[in-house]
Amino acid sequence: MRFRSRTSAVSSLALGLLVVVGCGPANEEELKGKSVAVPHKEGTPDFKSYGEAMKYQAEQQAKNQNKGAAAKKAQDKPK
């Protein structure tokens, strides 16, 4: 058997094994209880797109950094 033939046979067997293992039953049988949708929390924004969510996160991060800088400045201020 040539080297090239051996490598293709090994790769074919590996691919076949991965496909067989991956094609098992779904884990739906393992779920316990009933899935219930969580209601939207009051006061949290409802985003229509990923861009809106990222913009909101950036705004919140900037706001928190400003609060942290102001608190640090207040602590450093001599009395």
pLDDT single digits (tens) 8-64: 888 899 988 888 877 666 667 777 777 788 888 888 888 899 999 999 999 999 999
pLDDT greater at residue 68 or residue 62: 62
**Max CA-CA distance within the chain?**
87
**Number of domains forming the structure of the chain:** 1
Position 66 in a domain: yes
Answer yes or no: is 32 within a domain.
Answer: no
Residue 73 is assigned to a structural domain of this protein? yes
- Residue 24 pLDDT: 66
Q: For residue 78, is pLDDT > 70?
A: no
Do the domain assignments include residue 22? no
- pLDDT for 2: 63
12's enclosing H/E stretch is helix 3-22
C-beta of residue 13 within 8 angstroms of C-beta of residue 24 = no
- Which structural domain range is residue 68 located in? 46-79
Closest CA to 67 of 79, 59, 77, 78: 59
Is residue 1 predicted with pLDDT exceeding 60?
A: no
